[in-house]
Structure 1
Amino acid sequence: MSAQDATSAWLRAWDDYEFHTLKLTRHHTTGVGHIGYRCSSPEALARRVAAIEASDFKVLGWVDGDPGHGRAFRFEDPFGHVFEIYWETVHYAHSDRDRPALKNNASRFHHTGAAPRRLDHLNLLSSDVAEFRRFMVTCLGSRVTEMIELDNGRIGGCWFTVNNKTYDLACTEEHGGGAGRLHHVTYATDQREDILRAADIFLENGVHIETGPHKHAIQNTFFLYVWEPAGNRVELANAGARLILAPDWETVVWTEAERRRGQAWGLKTIETFHTHGTPPVKT
């Protein structure tokens, strides 16, 4: 934990270079407050702001910084997810107690709990993935690396990247009737054995293991899904750091029939994976 006050905690994994990559804030419900992207330069931030302001998407404007970064420009997708982009950031400064043995690591590998290396990606839900894709391409300049195309012509899911990772954000179709919901947030581990060890740690601490460890066909990810005590879904994943080195990469399109086969291997996908999101839908 990098910082804490009366309402929030700023967290990072041991090799995240920024002061924080996850902010938890006390609230009456669960879900995602906003999603932040760091731009590659002040000039890139200005270009993105201009593109967003010229679009037909909702602009929320500039907000003051946070303990972890400077001023940020906020905007919103058509489904209620709030995004922000920024350039100025606070790099994590380790203490003597947290000093890594290898100076090219952000901090010491503490081996406490599951101990993932870094934040990897998150998955949002929307009722119209094609419209969310337009938002991501227009506002963030994202590429689509993989997607699901349903038999009725709808897009069932898209995996986006703004760098050479295969994806840093995914959007899948909302089946629970909610709006602006989170499907899951994911942390990356170095190896599969880390996920197996984490499963035992979750078991010992009474954390609900939803499904896994299995392997996704899409993006080749070895995974474990749990629900943290408030109900948000958290994934531990290995192979989330696959790289796209081909400048002419073509989007991999999965058909509905291929998607219905479920995981690459492991148990059949359970029903809650398709319906559970946060915040919960009021009935």
Structure 2
Amino acid sequence: MPPLHEIAHLAHVELRTPVPEQSLEFFTGYLGLTEVGSQGDSVFLHAWDDYERTTIKLTAHTTSGIGRTNLRAASPEALQRLVQRIEGTGRGTGWQDGDPGCGPTYVFTEPDGHEMGVYYESEWYTPPAGLAPSLKNQAQARPAHGVPVRRLDHVNYLGADVVPNRDYFRDTLGALVTEQIVLDDGTTAGSWTTFTNKGYDAVWTRDWTGSSGRLHHIAFATDTREDILRAADLALDHGVFIETGPHKHAIQQTFFLYVYEPGGNRIELCNAGARLVIAPDWQPVDWTEAERAKGQAWGLKTIESFHTHGTPPVPQGERVTVGSDPVEGNAW
């Protein structure tokens, strides 16, 4: 097994949208991110307590979905070891120039085909005078508008098969598997992995369409539960579609709200409280079908669209449905 923590953290994510102006307004106006630059069809956005320059790369595209997920290595030496292991799996694409603020980035894919990049060199965010914080250990002054979200928290990928992706992150990148959904037939329908002492950084759940490379959601952390309640009120006032919540997950115990941004991508606002995974020998917590059928922590039933909506959308004729009912056996 590779050592833990050679990946320092989930860094920044590229999100694609067919309606870039509306999506930009969502991220800056509703979520409270700050625009820090642009390049070609992409705009770079910063969450107020992210130490790095970029939190989200928002890219105009013909459809929705996720582009590259970027991971920061813990050191130059860790980066070289990671690249060697990735190359050993045959999944490496090669070195590329990083996004603005990032050094050379080694690009690869996990088994489901999602594009990943790992780098070390990083430009720390320097706020302009009007956004300088009063507390010097904070990256930026907390915005006075929008939710506002503090940082990128995790990505939930849809995968045709959960296990190969889980194993790749564990065996090649050194992730720790924290929680899983294991069906009665032994199939793993969902897996939560972490590079840090958070409960999770990257999640895979089974794509009922049988497709590869799709996104379930990206999640932003808020300071408090009250911020999520405020986000729900703001969503009502500003026409943001609420899919489900506010409520509390059983898995990972995250307090949550799910909304859709204008491009169709699902966005979670989450607050995991003080629950951390600090045991180096943590063993995965497995949830059964019967346990998941009970719904969320306080009994809210999992909404059906949670299992049927992903981005980019899959045309009806291209779907290869996994099972007769996309909800059965996957009630996470």
**TM over 0.5, shorter chain:** yes
2:91 paired residue among 53, 58, 61: 58
Give how far 1:163 is off: 1.5
Q: CA deviation at 1:268?
A: 1.3
SS at match of 2:77: helix
Structure 2 residues without counterparts, runs of 5 or longer: 1-34, 317-332
Q: How does 1:1-283 map to 2 (within 5 A)?
A: 1-55=35-89, 57-239=90-272, 242-265=275-298, 267-283=300-316
- State the TM-score, normalized to the length of structure 1: 0.96
Separation in structure 2 between the aligned mates of residue 109 and residue 259 of structure 1, nearest angstrom: 37
Separation in 2, partners of 1:51, 1:216 = 34
Deviates more, 1:88-97 or 1:36-45: 88-97
- Root-mean-square deviation over aligned CA pairs: 1.3
Q: Quote the offset at 1:241 in angstroms.
A: 6.3
The 2-side partners of 1:68 and 1:211 are apart by 35
The alignment partner of 1:2 has SS state of strand
Tell me how far apart the structure 2 counterparts of residues 200 and 249 of structure 1 sit (CA, whole Å): 38
Q: Deviations over 1:40-71 (max 9, x none)?
A: 0000000000011112x422111112212011
The one-letter code of the counterpart of 1:28 is T
Tell me if the contact between 1:59 and 1:75 (Cα under 8 Å) persists in the aligned partners. Answer: yes
- Secondary structure in 2 matching 1:112: coil
Q: Identity over the aligned pairs, expressed in percent?
A: 55
Shift of 1:158: 0.7
SS of 2:306's equivalent? Answer: helix
* 1:178 and 1:280 in contact (8 A); partners too: no
Gaps of 5+ in 1: none
Question: Match of 1:128, as an amino acid?
Answer: D
CA contact (8 A) 1:185 1:234 kept: yes
Per-residue deviation, 1:25: 0.8
* Count of aligned pairs between the two proteins: 282
Q: TM-score, normalised by structure 2?
A: 0.82
Q: Is the 8 A contact 1:8 1:26 kept in 2?
A: yes
